[in-house]
Structure 1
Amino acid sequence: MGTSPEIEIAGRKIGADHPPFVICELSGNHNGSLDRALAMVDAAADTGCDAIKIQTYTADTITMDVDRPEFRITGGLWDGRSLYELYQEAYTPYEWHAAIFERARARGVIIFSSPFDETAVDLLAGLDAPAYKIASFEAVDLPLIRYAAGKGRPLIISTGMANLAEIEAARDAALAGGAPGVVLLHCVSSYPATFADANVRTVADMAQRFGCPVGLSDHTPGTAASVAAVAMGASVIEKHFTLARADGGPDAAFSLEPAEFKALVDDTRAAWSALGRAHYDLLGSERGNVQFRRSLYVAADVKAGEPLTRANVRSIRPGNGLAPAHLDAVLGRKAVRDLTRGEPLAWDMLA
């Protein structure tokens, strides 16, 4: 191993040769309470995730309070709401950021955020964020990508809705702007996303096309898509988190609760461990069972000078006799001594 591209975030190596880097996305599920946000950090840390991510914007930095049809959402979880109303509810106030970063670091968990404009990038730089996450909807905002990249930290870019040319442009903007590395996350920008739309084979294709670590920003239920993505080479898994879906929140419907998120962490790491390497050698853990493979045994008493037949030789377990591949070679040969039912067959028994 050791041949896949990798980057480093806060000392943690990220790439196909390392266990998946699991990001717990808090998003707007704090429901307007700093105490709840801090409780979410603690609960996230308890799941064993590698990183916690928040989002850095205000309603005014991400959209405008304009009464026009295109500023109103039609269909889905947020049907009928204006963008401004939704983001006014979901945003994480700038004045909370220092406390949230401090709590995560006290718990030994990497923390960073998604900036949505230059003021957000500057705020996060002031907090020494070790990486920046570019959301799918901002993947086409090349000036924002270049500005974030200019802080000299790795960028993780979600690619929901982006075509190949847009993904390439985003990656190139990040690298040209000064980012020391880029991770691309396959993403379906649907909330929640269905398994039928997940298309996690895209993860392997992205790795081949773009030559950088890849992963999955997962909006499907449960852990299945994330586990499948790890099997396809995902180095990063991002999933939304809530203390309890019943508590509500902008993203609660497609977020995992603490026990579910711990299962995600455990399942994706187990899936990565299970990938191992392609090999056909006997494993140490298998050696004790070699004796129970099939081999040739005397199945009925045979007098000296009598030939071996299918009636008195069988392939059975355990494995102390000749290999079953020798059956045709021993049939018809004569016993050099009396053979007893249950003896493992050996060449020195045969004429």
Structure 2
Amino acid sequence: MTQEISIAGRKIGRNHPPYIIAELSANHNGKLETAMRIIEEAKKTGADAVKLQTYRPDTITLDSDADEFRIKGGLWDGRTLYELYEEAHMPWEWHKPLFEHARQVGIPIFSSPFDNTAVDLLEDLNAPAYKIASFEAVDLPLIRYVASTGKPMIISTGMANAEEIAEAIAAARDGGCQQLAILHCVSGYPAPAEDYNLRTIPDMIERFGLVTGLSDHTIDNTTAIASVVLGASLIEKHFTLDRNGGGPDDSFSLEPADLAALCRDSKTAWKALGNVDYGQKSSEQGNVQFRRSLYFVKDMNKGEIVSADCIRSVRPGYGLPPKNRDWVIGTQVSKKIRAYTPVVREVLEATGHFGSKKT
């Protein structure tokens, strides 16, 4: 497995700018027009892709009022799973117009399938990649079925331990996936930044040897941008037109200005990483003259010996570096010197006591 993948021609890996995925999720709030506007706004922000979720309530849960099917606490307290997914799901008849609209707008679009029939639908639409949601990372048969498409796959690892992540990766490989990425994730909605333990990302890169990114459910961009410094090559964030829109996911999603900032700032962070380089940078060239150097501070006649009170380390930097101070003291000047001129080798002659001036 290579630590680089490609989705719709865009290369993704540590040698490329972060790949930003705008997760549309349930933020359509039951309106196809809203979903289309979200795609348009994602393109304007500079996001690299839009992602959907492809399921129906009956393909992801059961229509039951039993206690174990009812959500307790958190954002969706008291609702049954079926009720939540009935409201949140993307109608299957919307997928084709949304895929067509994204192509017209000029932004790649793919989805998270939650069962084999969803994969079949997305294959009919020629989805360029697939995402496995955190809750489905333990569904190894689904992972193998997605892998059998031969498309790039991203697996989110929220709630999964290291053994489960390894099992999911193995299932993807067994199914034939050649381009695989994983996302560090905390499956809280929203999730506090302190739960993210971003130092896990470099460990994941070393442990699993895959393109690695972040699925970020915090409510701002700080965590996502910090992840880039630790090696994240992909960032997924929920995206909405209005955080106060009242939908199931609106409250922990980014609005357009926030997503635009993420696209800009994550790429700035990536550029700032650069390479190991101790040399002078292009932006420093004009300031080299302002480094400290040795200057004469007294008038001197030819043949006089330079003493400590004849020179000082000051700005600008046209004289010898200050590290040469001890060598310069004790030399004699080869011509008349005026105060406030730089100390240069050409005007110094070493005495026998101090050796050659070429030292």
TM-score range for the pair, normalised by the shorter chain length: over 0.9
CA distance in 1: counterparts of 2:312 and 2:325, whole angstroms: 8
Matches within 5 A, 1:1-351: 5-351=3-349
Deviations 1:4-44 (A, max 9, x none): 71111111111111111110000001110001110111111
In 2, the alpha carbon distance for the partners of 1:174 and 1:97 equals 25
Deviations 1:157-195 (A, max 9, x none): 000000111101101111111222110000001111111
Deviations 1:60-82 (A, max 9, x none): 11101111111111111111111
- Does the residue aligned with 1:311 lie in a helix, a strand or coil? helix
In 2, the alpha carbon distance for the partners of 1:307 and 1:198 equals: 66
User: Matched residues in 1 for 2:31 and 2:339: separation?
Assistant: 79
CA distance in 1, matches of 2:173, 2:28: 33
TM-score if structure 2 supplies the norm length? Answer: 0.94
Normalised by the length of structure 1, the TM-score is 0.96
Amino acid in the other structure paired with 2:229? A
Tell me, what secondary structure is at the counterpart of 2:309?
coil
Most deviating of 158-167 and 341-350: 341-350
AA aligned to 1:81 is R
Aligned length: 349
SS at match of 2:332: coil
Q: Deviations over 1:87-127 (max 9, x none)?
A: 11111100000111111111111100000011111100100
CA contact (8 A) 2:54 2:114 kept: yes
Shift of 1:331: 1.4
Q: Unaligned regions of 5+ residues in structure 1, if any? A: none
Percent of counterpart pairs with the same letter? 57
Cα distance in 2 for partners of 1:296, 1:346 equals: 8
Let me know the Cα RMSD of the aligned residues: 1.4
| 2:347 partner amino acid | M
Greater Cα offset, 245-254 or 109-118 = 245-254
Q: Structure 1, residues 280-322: CA drift from partner, whole Å, max 9, x if none?
A: 1223332222222111111222333433233221111111111
Give the 4+ runs in structure 1 shifted more than 4 A. Answer: none
Answer yes or no: is the 8 Å Cα contact 2:320–2:343 preserved in 1. Answer: yes
